[in-house]
Every structure is written in C-alpha cells, then in structure tokens.
Amino acid sequence: MLLKSIVDCRCPLESAFREFRSVSISPARLAVLALGPFGILASTYAICLSRHDPQAAAFADQVTAAETRGAKVQSVRQTLLLDACHERSRKLQGQLPADFEIVCRAPFILAGDVPAERLAKLHEEAVLPLSRALWRAFFDRKPDEPIVLVALSDEARYIQVAHDLDGYDVAAYAAYYNRKERRIVLNLSHGTGTLAHELSHALVQSDFPEMPEWFDEGLASLHEDTVYSADGLLLIPQPNWRSRILVDALQADELPDLATLIRTQSFRGEGEGLHYACVRGLCLFLHQKGLLTHFYRKFRTECASDPTGLATLREVVGATDDAALDQEFRRWVFQQASPASS
C-alpha cells in the first residue's frame, strides 16, 4: 500500500519533466529568458549610478537653488506690486468722482463711471489678452508699478475727467497715456480699438524706457488693428487707414526719407498724420518680413550705442546704407498699393 502511494506520487513529476524536455523553445525566446534578468539588473544599476553622478547631482542642486531663488524674488515683487496697487487705488478714490468704481487687478487698476462688473470684464476680455500677447511677443520685463486705466462711458465725461486729472484737452483723441502717471484714460464709446495702442505705450515703459518716439508710436499704432492668431497667443497686425495715407504719399512723391524721419526730433506737429503712417508702415513692413520682434530685442540691447535704432534697422533688413533701407521700404509701400502684383 505504501509503495503504491510513492509510485503514484512520483509519476506526475516524471511526466512533467518528460513534457518539458519534449517542448521546443526558439533561440530568441531562450536568449530572452537567459539574458532578461541580467538586462533588468544592468538598467537598475545604471539608474542608481546616474543618481550618484556628482556632476548631475551638482546641476540638479543648481536648478533647485535657482528655482527657489526665482520664486522668492517673484513673491517679493508680487507683494510689493500688490501693496503699491492698493496704495494707488486709495489715492485714486480721492482724485476721481465719488460715483466711480475701482477694480484692482495687479499690475492694472481699472476705474471708471461704469459698474465694477464692466471694469472686470474689460480687464478679462481686453486688457489681459492684449497684454499677454504683447508680453509674449516683445516685452521681457513686466511692470513693477501699477498701471491705471480710467474708462469713461461717454465723450462728455471723458473730456471732463481728462481735464480734471491731467489738464489735457482731448477732443481729438479717443484715448491717451500719461507716461509720468502711468495712466491710460479711455473713452469707451469709441470701442476698445485704441486700448491696444495705449497699452503698448504703458508696457513699453517698463521694458524699454529708452525707446525713441518714432518706434514707440510705430509699435503702438501697429497694434491699433490686429487679429489674434488661431491659437490666440499672438496679435497679427493688419493694414488699416494709415496704410492708405502711406500709399497716397508715395504716389504723390511726398513720402519723407526714412532715415530723416527717424533722426528727426519733430515727430509731432506739421505732417504728424503722415509720420504716424510711416512709422506704422515701417513696423508692418518688419512684421511681414518676420523681423519685428528681432528688431525690437536687438534695438533694446544696442540702444546705448544706437539711440535712434537706424543701425540696428539696417542690420536686420540687410541694407548697406540709409538709401538702400529707404529704397527697400518704398518698394514694400508700392506693393501695398497693388497687393495683387506683390
């Protein structure tokens, strides 16, 4: 009986061994089975080794230290900016009529004779997307001081507030920027088209305060008429009514020489409309060549030795001298007159 049970017990093992020997295993499968465990061990060893690489560890420490430092600086800047915004808001309450609402959205403070919800919506739907697109494309330094935007519901209120706040006569403008006060005053009844123009001035002041007037006005007026790119990240400038002035001046042989216009200190006054058309046109010309953001940053870097921007302009356009630059620009204006032939 005992012998029988031992025999019964051994039988299954023997048959399994026989089956194993009878199974045919491919060489590839055999290699995986044999070498797989060594591969896993080698990978684990490599990962452990890289963690102990002194160079990699030092770089990781540098990155962590830099990120911690950056976050700390950012936090201090944000706290100071918020304090400045609250202080400025309190000051504004004393300067504006009692029925005006004030909404703080650092670095912006929006105030006006409209409900607070409308000011918040103006920030959310216009000021913020425009600012983000401009920061993305051009400006590396964001404002450390509050930017005030006073929005007025009609012409009469706009004229009155501009006079009371800044002593300005604004009958000819839908909006303006007071650089010293970092304050935009805007007539909402004209829409928000001019907001981008004034915002450009306000944001330039923090990023490129030495920017000469011709480029400041060119860049600002370029952004009067734009559409957002399909992904909403960038502003794409469009030709507008100023383009017509430019083309008419070329056809009437009244287009000023580009270098003379850039060097002149008398941008305003006689011929102001044509001057604006020229500098907007020049910015549109650079944008269409894909050179505007390059020009902006190179000029900002080189402005101490090239205060007008002419040398940088010649370099980015690839013009040998001022006459060649002027010729290139005139050729572009001519193409604007007959876009089909360009």
Q: What is the binding site for Zn ion (CB under 5 A)?
A: 217, 220
Q: How far is the CB of 294 from Zn ion (least distance, A)?
A: 23
Return the structure tokens found at 42: 């080698």
Q: How far is the CB of 221 from Zn ion (least distance, A)?
A: 7
| Distance, first Cα to last Cα, the chain | 107
Q: How far is the CB of 195 from Zn ion (least distance, A)?
A: 12
The whole-angstrom separation of Cα 129 and Cα 196 is 10
For residue 204, how many C-alpha atoms fall within 13 Å in the half-sphere facing its CB? Answer: 26
Q: How far is the CB of 58 from Zn ion (least distance, A)?
A: 50
* Comparison of 109 and 184: residue with beta carbon closer to Zn ion: 184
Q: How far is the CB of 177 from Zn ion (least distance, A)?
A: 7
For residue 184, how many C-alpha atoms fall within 13 Å in the half-sphere facing its CB? Answer: 25
Report the Cα 115 to chain-centroid distance in Å. 29
The whole-angstrom separation of Cα 278 and Cα 218 is 8
* Comparison of 85 and 187: residue with beta carbon closer to Zn ion: 187
**Shortest-Cβ-distance residue relative to Zn ion:** 220
* Comparison of 197 and 314: residue with beta carbon closer to Zn ion: 197
The whole-angstrom separation of Cα 200 and Cα 135 is 10
Q: What H or E segment, with its residue span, contains residue 110?
A: strand 108-112
For residue 239, how many C-alpha atoms fall within 13 Å in the half-sphere facing its CB? Answer: 14
Report the Cα 195 to chain-centroid distance in Å. 16
* Comparison of 217 and 322: residue with beta carbon closer to Zn ion: 217
Give backbone dihedrals phi and psi of 119, rounded to 5 degrees, phi first. Answer: -65, -40
Find, among 330, 320, 312, 315, the residue nearest to 257 by Cα: 330
* Comparison of 103 and 162: residue with beta carbon closer to Zn ion: 162
Burial track 213-238 (b if 16+ CB lie within 10 A, e otherwise): ebbbbbbbbbbbbbeeeeeeebbebe
At a CB cut-off of 8 Å and minimum separation 6, what does 82 contact?
Answer: 106
* Comparison of 133 and 220: residue with beta carbon closer to Zn ion: 220
Q: How far is the CB of 60 from Zn ion (least distance, A)?
A: 48
Q: How far is the CB of 254 from Zn ion (least distance, A)?
A: 23
* Comparison of 198 and 326: residue with beta carbon closer to Zn ion: 198
Q: How far is the CB of 273 from Zn ion (least distance, A)?
A: 13
* Comparison of 220 and 282: residue with beta carbon closer to Zn ion: 220
Find, among 261, 219, 245, the residue nearest to 333 by Cα: 245
